[in-house]
Amino acid sequence: MSEKTNYSKLALLASDTERAQEAREALAAQHDWVDIDEADAVIVLGGDGFMLQTLHSMLDSGRILPVYGMNVGTVGFLMNRHRNGATIDKRLQKARAVAIAPLHMRAITQAGTTCEWNAINEVSLLRETRQTAKIEVSVDDKVRIDELVCDGVLLSTPAGSTAYNLSANGPILPLDSNLLALTPISAFRPRRWGGAILPDRSRVKFRILEPAKRPVLAVADQKELRDIAEVSLEIARESELTLLFDPGHALDERIVAEQFVV
């Protein structure tokens, strides 16, 4: 985490939901908002889906700004609580910055098309038909599993470890752990393989076996690519993002707290 920073030029973005638009109207008079092209920080109103959409837009444009989110959506793991009272300026003065680095995915389809995307939470591979997938798993150019027979497999960042990864019985990773979670989805063989925790400097590669009979798609957060042949993954350190959190509600604290939910 970095030290507190004051931001003067703020942009305000809100999802299209009724709650988010009402929150936007309530905040309209609190600050002299600027266009995002002029801002030094962004306030995001919505849920995690809209937050991911905003962060991906920044990654695509190459102009990455600190983001402070307020949850007026369904899921708000990446967001702060939305509450009346303290002004946005005061909340930002107390906020702490948390750096997160996305995964970079390079995928090649069976037709030979190459696609490169970033994923803030995880990249998951999923079977396209009723047939189980067969996937070769390599780490740092060494084959670790010759044939993983499964519904799928995913690689998660610490920021995404409480999302799909947790639902697939993957481990929760502290934000500052410098680790990645490699987690199978309904593995049939090796039956007892429960996944692996890897250093975030690792390079992970998935190669699809028997693709004609067992097609597989790749999903990088909200983007999907079908009929893949192979997928290569590594942390994109040059694309580091900054999220701003209220004291006591930072993402790393939420990750710790999630492990004690029963």
* Catalytic residue set: 48
Tell whether 252 is in a known binding site. no
Closest CA to 206 of 240, 187, 237, 232: 232
Residue tagged 């009724």 (tokens)? 18
Tell whether 166 is in a known binding site. yes
What are residue 97's DSSP bridge partners? 2, 244
- CA torsion sign, 133 to 136 to 137 to 140? negative
Tell whether 80 is in a known binding site. no
The answer to whether 231 touches 254, Cβ cutoff 8 Å, is no
Let me know the angle formed at the C-alpha of 50 by 49 and 54, rounded to the nearest 5 degrees.
120
Max distance between CA atoms of the chain, in angstroms, equals 60
Tokens standing for residue 162: 């409480």
Tell whether 178 is in a known binding site. no
Return phi, psi of residue 219, to 5°: -125, 120
Tell whether 73 is in a known binding site. no
Tell whether 253 is in a known binding site. no
Edge-to-edge order in the sheet of strand 122-127: 196-199, 179-185, 152-156, 122-127, 216-220, 223-225
Tell whether 52 is in a known binding site. no
Tell whether 113 is in a known binding site. no
Tell whether 194 is in a known binding site. no
Tell whether 159 is in a known binding site. yes
Enumerate the known binding-site residues.
48-49, 121-122, 151, 159, 162-167
Enumerate the known binding-site residues for NAD(+).
48-49, 121-122, 151, 159, 162-167
